[in-house]
């Protein structure tokens, strides 16, 4: 995949509660120049960047706790609704892992329901924190998130580990499985430690190495803050 192809699926990311208006303005200038799929920021920064981005560039808001996801469904619903009302086109939410034999269970389903209800009309990306999960739990959480209406399952925040090759394989398999079983095309977002083009090429090779292809910004995203610099070299 060439640089343009990666930009087309890139969520250019700046997740810093202390980001200044100058920082955010510079992010928007880069995005308007290079045209990624989306710019990903905290929900309090959505209105500022939406005003400065070209219309065709989506704004993805991180809401409901990051890197640790909130555990109260009502609070998650309110946070997601606020992000959407601020101008978000997409919402990224952490579904926090629990060390419990009933994980994932009714509690996670209630959180997912709030995420989906609050983001009606927008793309919902559910971050499942793969570095903290077993293979069994990665599969189980992915299936629950997709069944609850998530548009994407996303590997991790990058704050508690990186996206591994195995994470990419498992997530892409579950998305393809859902497509075959349910007839619904959903997506994968890979993030966490993806810094150079070689990382992207390797991971996308895994995503599309078996059982069909996942491609295009409606089904495939890469989340990164520093990848753009390597793409442009």
Q: What is the pLDDT of residue 163?
A: 98
Q: What is the pLDDT of residue 139?
A: 98
Give the H or E element holding residue 174: helix 165-182
Strand partners, 40: 13, 60
Q: Are 153 and 126 in contact (CB under 8 A)?
A: yes
Q: What is the pLDDT of residue 210?
A: 82
Q: What is the pLDDT of residue 77?
A: 98
- Token pair 């509660």 is found at 17
Span 92-126, pLDDT tens digits: 999 999 999 999 999 999 999 999 999 999 999 99
Domains of the chain: 3-232 (3.20.20.70)
Query: pLDDT below 70 — which residues of the chain?
Result: none
Task: Quote the CA–CA distance of 196 and 71 in Å, as a whole number.
Answer: 34
Q: What is the pLDDT of residue 91?
A: 98
Q: Are 127 and 157 in contact (CB under 8 A)?
A: yes
N-terminal to C-terminal alpha carbon distance within the chain: 15
Task: Quote the CA–CA distance of 224 and 233 in Å, as a whole number.
Answer: 16
Q: What is the pLDDT of residue 22?
A: 98
């Amino acid at each position: 995949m060439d640089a343009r192809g990666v930009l087309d699926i890139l969520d250019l990311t700046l997740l810093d509660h202390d980001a200044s208006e100058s920082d955010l303005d510079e992010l928007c200038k880069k995005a308007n120049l290079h045209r990624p799929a989306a710019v990903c920021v905290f929900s309090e920064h959505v209105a500022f960047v939406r005003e400065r981005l070209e219309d065709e560039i989506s704004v993805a808001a991180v809401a409901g706790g990051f890197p640790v996801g909130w555990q109260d469904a009502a609070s998650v619903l309110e946070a997601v609704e606020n992000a959407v009302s601020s101008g978000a086109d997409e919402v990224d939410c952490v579904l926090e892992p629990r060390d419990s034999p009933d994980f994932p269970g009714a509690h996670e389903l209630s959180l997912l329901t709030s995420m989906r209800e609050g983001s009606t009309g927008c793309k919902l990306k559910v971050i499942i924190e793969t570095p903290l999960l077993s293979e069994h739990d990665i599969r189980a959480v992915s299936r629950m998130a997709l069944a609850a209406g998530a548009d994407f399952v996303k590997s991790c925040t990058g704050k508690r580990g990186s996206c591994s090759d195995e994470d990419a394989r498992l997530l892409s398999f579950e998305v393809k499985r859902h497509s075959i079983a349910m007839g619904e095309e959903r997506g994968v977002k890979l993030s966490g430690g993806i810094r150079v083009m070689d990382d992207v090429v390797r991971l996308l090779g895994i995503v599309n190495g078996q059982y069909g292809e996942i491609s295009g910004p409606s089904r495939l995203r890469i989340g990164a803050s520093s990848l753009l610099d390597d793409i442009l070299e």
